[in-house]
Structure 1
Amino acid sequence: MRQIGIEAREGGAIRAINNTISNNQTHVFAIGPNGYGYISGNIIQGNGAEGVWSGGNFKQDESMEMNEEGASRAVLNDNIIRQNGLSGISFDGGYFEVKGNKITFNWLWGMMVKSRSYSYILDNEISENKCGGIRIGINYTAAVFINGNTIRDHIGPSIYTVSSIENSLKTSRRRKTLEKKVKPIPVGDGEINGESREPFIFSTNFLNDNERGIQHPQDIFCMIEACCFCRKISQQLKFCSRCKKAKYCSKDCQTNHWIQHKHMCKLLNASYVVEVQMSDTEPNNLGRPTEHGKSYGANQRAFDPKLVGIGKGTPPDSSSCKRFIVKIQSGREYGCYDPYKKLIVYDQTVTFDIQLSNPELYHLCNECGVLTGHKVTTKKIFCWASFKNNGQTICFHTDNLPPFQTW
């Protein structure tokens, strides 16, 4: 296992054609700052971070100052980019052409474009990425052309564009707080802080079956007759002997996919219950809402006003085995695949508000849940829960999911 596959920066260049590159701890290709890459005909799979990262417009230190000479250039043609631990491709400043690639089944987005990345995204197949197809962040005056792509089969959006910050401030009840955060962010010559040019999205794109919303684990494996690792479509696929749901075209694909599937495999059992000892959890350090006019301290929990009903209802009784609904949330934004990452779990009243680590719940949330309000990478899912052993154990019931909640 290697830290990075191939890196080009400070005037360096990469020319990579017809390779299979896998199992690196972070990126396969890291191009920038001030790098150049020509990447064509490669299979880029199973890596810890993005399949391809390129950029360099911001200095990679605490100052986060704009680096005017750090922009990179890359051409990505006819590659297969799949099963990577962040997004398939991430651009952070430069000039890019992405054409004829198959970008599928990456842990976050198919592509992320931001930080003044001039991008031509043409004739790609972008499918089944966990968060969505293409996310365009604050990109200043850089133009993005999206033309002739097939973007399909995502729980999240096909194309998501972040609004300019000024537009966001007009509707935000936290305008002053957001303005303070935005002002220190550096911008380049001729740019306006927080402004982002709308992408050019052509009618020649084929968008199908995106924004599907929350899915039950069993539904995820019934949607398409394709190998769960390489996504090859075949009528000769063999089932996982344990769950009888996941399908594979070869033993190698099953072996490569097992590191992730072993956690989802358990959830595909109709009677499976995830049990977590309360002694293995901890209080959520984000704090809690006020109760009877008393604050719980400086870290008091703040919720978006769009979450209708939060803080209301009847608190769950730890001495009862009655089921109640909890929200499971995947925690911090843009983290690499990590089944032991801390999750946030709370009920509608927020009197039950904990953090825990559990690989099955991590996969349930990230593979079956929906994006939270900011549409970055944090996901949420609602699940039935109950107490056991007089509150010493919390049980999560995955046989069926409750209706989607507004809180």
Structure 2
Amino acid sequence: MTLAEAIAAQTPLVQRLLDGLAAIGADPPGITRDAYGRGENEAQALVAAAGDALGLERAIDAGANLSLRWAGTDPSAPPILIGSHLDSVVQGGNFDGAAGVVAGLAAVAALQAAGIRPRMDIEVLALRCEEAVWFGLGLIGSRCLLARLPPGALDLRHARTGLTLAESIAACGGDPQRLRAGTPLRDPARLGAYLEVHIEQAPQLVEAGAPAALCLANPGNLRHPYIRITGEDAHTGLPHRFRRDAALAGADLALGLERLWLEEEAAGRPMAVTIGRFHTPVDRHSLTMVSGRFELSLDLRAYAADHLAALEERLARIVAEVAARRGVRIELGERSAAAPGPMDPGITECFAAAAARAGLPAPRLNSPGSHDANNFAASGVPTGMLLVRNRNGSHNPEEAMETGDLMAAVAILVHWLAERAGAGM
């Protein structure tokens, strides 16, 4: 069987797994696979069963991540990891993260069908809790694996169950005590590469008319999930000069951040500002009251660590200016951060050569999203990503990846693996 035939033969496996994951997460109008909960657990079980059928060795690490290992011929060779996540946001789409885990399994199955035995181990990883919606902190599975959990992370509480992260990990077969030691579960220096396939989260590939792309970099992010603005409750007729209006201060802050964003883009420094929560307190807001309290969330992202640091300084200045002008107190509150994820140039070039061998166009794009790949890149692991065309963005029920486009990414991945890992036909 040729390599192209072996890849095409995995389409039914890919479709069966995607359909199974959709059934597990069904939550009309979208998909919900809760991290460290039923949805993610059942998705892991589905993927593990597929790995069993391929003869892969399964293991659960201290963060409750699932590894499916195909042993290579040279035990001393650094392994290649192919990973992504299975959790989703609440009522999101089916493909964000999950498509990458399925792609890893399909790549292994294609190599097996083509009679290619890897020289080094190839591991497919289903990493836990990539989405920040569940604990207010994202990329948790890869943070656990690489000892990148911030202080206090194990005490964060799950948005639905109320269990701490430590309790949630233990309930899913992990070992939070091992994580408290603060040492990596896998030595980054002994990993040959980390590869991730992920749907694209902007319409760049739709615009380019290409099924897949080579990712150049993922942004890092700075997050404040609970920014609190405190002014003074007052009657709606209060003259402007006496007001300490928290809602208008929130609006000022949002518009100030948008001005920052537009200035940075005009200067050729790509970034993004996202305000996901923006509200007066639901238990007290009223048509006939000036609100003395306001809350919002903030996600700032950029592609370089020094740029993120500069944006954080600008954020502090904007906050101080708004607070002084409006006579309010602004507390940024809890903070989390993820390092930017530049992809390894050598892997990117080899991906380009693999795409050429597969007869596929291969545009090069930045991803607008942060991914588990960020943590591997920040830990010094050679990291590469492929992006898959996906209409209608992500984190919504309208995700619209076509299976054929995912198979194009699988083809690039398989050709890369056959060149890098193949020990013989």
With the shorter chain as reference, the TM-score category is: under 0.3
Q: As a proportion of its length, which structure holds more helix?
A: 2
Structure with greater strand percent: 1
TM-score, length-scaled by structure 1 = 0.26
> Structure with the greater relative contact order (CA < 8 A, sep ≥ 6): 1 or 2?
2
